[in-house]
């Protein structure tokens, strides 16, 4: 899929007849990712380089979307998780429906929120990005519109008519396209159980410098309050890979000051460490427990936050020094990078 999309997007960008690209899911969802299951199998069979090459291609596509010269419209009807966010969130228009289910659940499988998620999560209000990235919490379409991860909300029954309307515009002008989408929109607000109603609590707990301090803040609030949100959030964090939590937090924090290209370049270094198991086998253990054997009982290594040292995390974020090379597929394109930087 990534190979085909790379081919098409590069072709369409140069084609003067193409004014707009609309992407939608082929089934009940938009795209749930799932690519990591194949990378897991490649790594277990000894073909880690092929898995790393896949990530290089995927991140290149993410970057192309973030700097695309043609108007891009993603119809996020259904599940949009992991890699699905990579082929949608970086584009100009993102349209949610009542069926949309968003999440970046990578810390549950020993990875970090990749595909440039540190770029868009870090730009959410307050510390919502850290909360979503560390816990993998799901948001629905109304939530996504409220926090700005999508640009429009359109009921699913109107999508076909919307596509017809866009197809008849004969224009890719973003203002014209946005006005056309507005014709099909509904006004929606987060539901009663939406995590967005916990913004004060999220900012208070997830604004700390370290994962240990975040956990401690949640524990203190859980002891003082009868609100189950604190204990439920603690339970979520305690299921996740400790090394992934620390990598995810640092990735999102650093992403605030980085361009999209820099976020994706960092993502590539981080996934190579995970796939190559240079510091931990958590990626393989997480995939085994949640995607392959599905026993939901991963045995993390290191097993606790205290055993994930600062030196370990520093090395994961540092330049490659064991012969690894940044994928040639992520060689910097100066023109694209300048466009990415201008969006900061």
* Residue positions annotated with a catalytic role: 34, 83, 106, 114
How far does Cα 71 stand from its chain's mean position? 21
């Amino acid at each position: 899929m990534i190979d085909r999309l790379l081919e098409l997007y590069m072709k369409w960008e140069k084609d003067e007849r193409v004014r707009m690209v609309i992407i939608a899911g082929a089934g009940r969802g938009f795209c749930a990712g799932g690519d990591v299951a194949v990378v897991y199998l490649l790594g277990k069979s000894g073909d880690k380089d092929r898995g790393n090459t896949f990530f290089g291609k995927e991140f290149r596509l993410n970057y192309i979307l973030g700097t695309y010269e043609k108007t891009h419209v993603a119809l996020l009807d259904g599940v949009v998780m992991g890699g699905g966010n990579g082929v949608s969130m970086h584009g100009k228009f993102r349209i949610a429906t009542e069926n949309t289910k968003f999440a970046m659940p990578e810390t549950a499988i020993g990875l970090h929120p990749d595909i440039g998620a540190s770029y868009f999560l870090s730009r959410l209000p307050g510390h919502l990005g850290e909360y979503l990235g560390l816990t993998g919490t799901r948001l629905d379409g109304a939530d996504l519109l409220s926090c700005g991860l999508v640009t429009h909300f359109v009921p699913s029954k109107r999508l076909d008519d919307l596509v017809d309307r866009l197809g008849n515009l004969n224009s890719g002008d973003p203002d014209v396209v946005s006005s056309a989408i507005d014709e099909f929109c509904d006004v929606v607000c987060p539901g009663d159980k939406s995590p967005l109603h916990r913004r004060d609590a999220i900012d208070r707990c997830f604004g700390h410098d370290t994962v240990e301090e975040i956990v401690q803040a949640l524990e203190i609030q859980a002891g003082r309050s009868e609100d189950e949100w604190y204990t439920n959030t603690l339970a979520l964090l305690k299921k996740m890979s400790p090394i992934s939590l620390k990598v995810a937090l640092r990735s999102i924090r650093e992403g605030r000051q980085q361009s999209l290209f820099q976020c994706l370049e960092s993502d590539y270094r981080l996934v190579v460490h995970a796939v190559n198991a240079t510091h931990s086998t958590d990626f393989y253990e997480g995939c085994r427990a949640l995607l392959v054997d599905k026993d939901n009982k991963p045995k993390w290594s290191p097993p606790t936050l205290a055993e994930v040292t600062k030196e370990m995390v520093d090395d994961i974020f540092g330049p490659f020094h064991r012969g690894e090379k940044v994928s040639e597929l992520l060689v910097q394109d100066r023109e694209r990078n300048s466009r990415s930087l201008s969006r900061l």
